[in-house]
Amino acid sequence: GRWVYWWDGHERAWLAMPSGGGDPVNLTAAIPYRVDDEEHDHPMLPSSYGSAGWTAGDRSFLVYDRYDVWATDPRRPAEPRNVTEGVGREEELRFRYVRLDPDEEGIGRDEPIILSAFDRGTKASGFYRDRATGTDRPQRLVMQDAHFGLPDKAEDADVVLLTRESFREFPDLWVTDLSFGDMRKLSDANPQMSEYRWGTADLVHWRSTDGRPLDGMLFKPDGFDPAQRYPMMVYFYETMSDWLHRYSSPGPGGSSVSVSFYVSRGYVVFVPDVHYRIGYPGESALDCVVPGVLHVVAQGYVDPERIGVQGHSWGGYQIAYMVTQTDLFAAAEAGAPVSNMTSAYGGVRWQSGMSRMFQYERSQSRIGGSLWEARPQYIENSPVFWADKIDTPVLMLHNDEDGAVPWYQGIEFFVALRRLSKPVWMLNYNGEAHGLRKYQNRKDWAVRMQQFFDHYLQDAPPPVWLAEGVPAVEKGRTLGLDLLEERPDSAGAR
């Protein structure tokens, strides 16, 4: 190519220079909107929204802002063109170029191009037709309350293959032409799901404690009756609401709850988005999740005494922090949590061998400084220092070969809660990593987590392992999965 191009986080801009040498050109300075992530909330340089690449002959470089596609010419960088005519920002649609020919050397300027479209307001998705010249408004082809996979085009015909899915629709294969007008289903890969109760997925809105508008997903069981009061499971990580129309497999996962499984069993499941303030990750989660839960409870169909919360890794940390601050939850599972940022800061990510310091100073843990620069924040955001405030029963999963979060973090939290005589259980699957890999262990974990939440949220009798424990010498031989009222020697006990 004629140009070398790159993203400059310091400039928050795309730059290019002639491949033969010369001065860099800022390709995006004249674009009137940000091309770096407007929702960036990490203590590091922001990423871009990405690019589509060069048009044929390297005449223009196509870049994205939050919504639209822009064409910028390195020879005339002061004259960028909005390829999508501002329709994206106007209608809150995120347009992105779809590369139908993997061997193309450049995007045709005068040829029709296909754009994927995602509605940030409704989470619908679909496809539009446009031209890279930016002389016409993009033409809508299809938009549905579903998620479409990227299409694959036949080499010598205007035929494309793609997937379509929703919470209750398996991602089967569909075939259509480039008009996307007549879509025909090719596969039926999961017919057995028709034999099971499923549910519905809705988008909900509320505001955080500091007034920021937030989205979340709310899943309700089939046969939902708003006059009843349901137990509710809360699961979160960071921002997940864009996945509203993704299919949820009911199989046992390596760490987290299966949404479709819990909904099928009569739970309402709430998945709130979280946005963060640097230096206050735990408080940020609290300020987003708790108002969201209270908003759902205010609708009248959730029993406020039967709310559970579950998360793993970063989600597990946030839950461990939250239960030190609120008694809203009747039960909590905090998987692989960082419980003490002051000790985790000096640890190692065993899988990669990297120091963990970067994670707090510049990455996901979002403290934004070293232990000595931000000592109060490290302590304030560490659940172990506030463990005496916890009244919520806590279940933990943390395995001894976790390569991401050292499992001594789970041990610190478990031992602290035991010392304080708090209700806590910790499961370690020997030889397992950050998430469970062996199917038998994933299944065992799914059963135990179900028993834990069923006991606290649905008044189910406790299993032996929960009520009495299993001696270490019996590990692997005595599972303790029997419910107490079902044991032959427990007749009349409960």
C-alpha span between 281 and 277 (Å, rounded):
6
* Residue 95 and residue 115 in contact, taking contact as beta carbons nearer than 8 Å: yes
pLDDT above 70 covers a percentage of the chain that reads: 98
Distance, in Å, from the CA atom of 429 to the CA atom of 436, rounded to the nearest integer, reads: 8
Least Cα distance to 199 among 257, 112, 270, 263 occurs for 263
The dihedral region occupied by 192, where left means phi > 0, alpha psi between -120 and 50, and beta the remainder, is: alpha
Cα-only R_g, the chain: 26
Which pTM value belongs to this model? Answer: 0.94
Beta bridge partners of 112: 131
Q: Are 312 and 256 in contact (CB under 8 A)?
A: yes
Mean pLDDT of the chain, nearest integer: 95
What's the confidence (pLDDT) of residue 486? 62
Q: What is the pLDDT of residue 271?
A: 99
| pLDDT of 490 over the 60 cut | no
Closest among 269, 307, 292 to 215, alpha carbons compared: 292
pLDDT of res. 493: 35
Main-chain phi, psi angles of 317, to 5 degrees: -60, -50
- Predicted local distance difference test score (pLDDT) of residue 90: 98
Predicted confidence (pLDDT) per residue in 150-168, tens digit: 999 999 999 999 999 999 9
Contact 147, 164 (CB under 8 A): yes
Q: Which range is least confidently modeled, 5-14, 109-118, 236-245?
A: 109-118
Pick the CATH number of 196-460 from 3.30.360.10, 3.40.50.1820, 3.90.1640.30, 3.40.50.1000: 3.40.50.1820
Band the pLDDT of 362: cuts 50, 70, 90: very high
**For 242-286, how does the pLDDT look when each residue is reduced to its tens digit (9 = 90+)?**
999 999 988 899 999 999 999 999 999 999 999 999 999 999 999
Cα–Cα distance between 95 and 130 in angstroms, integer?
10
Model confidence band, residue 289 (pLDDT cutoffs 50, 70, 90): very high
Alpha carbon 421 to its chain's center: 34
- From CA 256, how far away is CA 253, in angstroms rounded? 6
Q: Which residues contact 232 (CB under 8 A, 6 or more apart)?
A: 267, 268, 269, 270, 293, 296, 297, 302, 303, 306, 307, 308
Residue 451 in contact with residue 481, Cβ under 8 Å?
Answer: yes
Q: Write out the two tokens for 109.
A: 């300027």
Q: Tell me the CA distances in angstroms from 203 to 144, 199, 216, 230, 232, one per residue in order.
A: 15, 14, 6, 18, 16
Confidence (pLDDT) at 64: 98
For the chain, domain boundaries: 3-145, 196-460
| Pairing state between β 424-427 and 394-397 | parallel
HEC secondary structure over the chain: CCEEEEEECCCCEEEEEECCCCCCEECCCCCCCCCECCCCCCCCCCCECCEEEEEHHHCCEEEECCCCEEEEECCEEEEEEECCCCHHHHHCEEEEECCCCCCCCCECCCCEEEEEEEECCCCCEEEEEEECCCCCCCEEEEEECCEECCCEECCCCCEEEEEEEECCEEEEEEEEECCCCCCEECCCCCHHHHHCCCEEEEEEEEECCCCCEEEEEEEEECCCCCCCCEEEEEECCCCCHHHCCCCCCCCCCCCCCCHHHHHHCCCEEEEECCCCCCCCHHHHHHHHHHHHHHHHHCCCCEEEEEEEEEEECHHHHHHHHHCCCCCCCCEEEEECCCCCHHHHCCCEECCCCEECHHHHHCCCCCCCCCCCCCHHHHHHCCHHHHHHHCCCCEEEECCCCCCCCCCHHHHHHHHHHHHCCCCEEEECCCCCCCCCCCHHHHHHHHHHHHHHHHHHHHCCCCEHHHHCCCCHHHCCCCCCCCEHHHCHHHCCCC
Amino acid identity of 58?
A: D
Longest dimension (CA), the chain: 86
* Amino acid present at 320: A
Residue 334 has pLDDT above 70, yes or no: yes
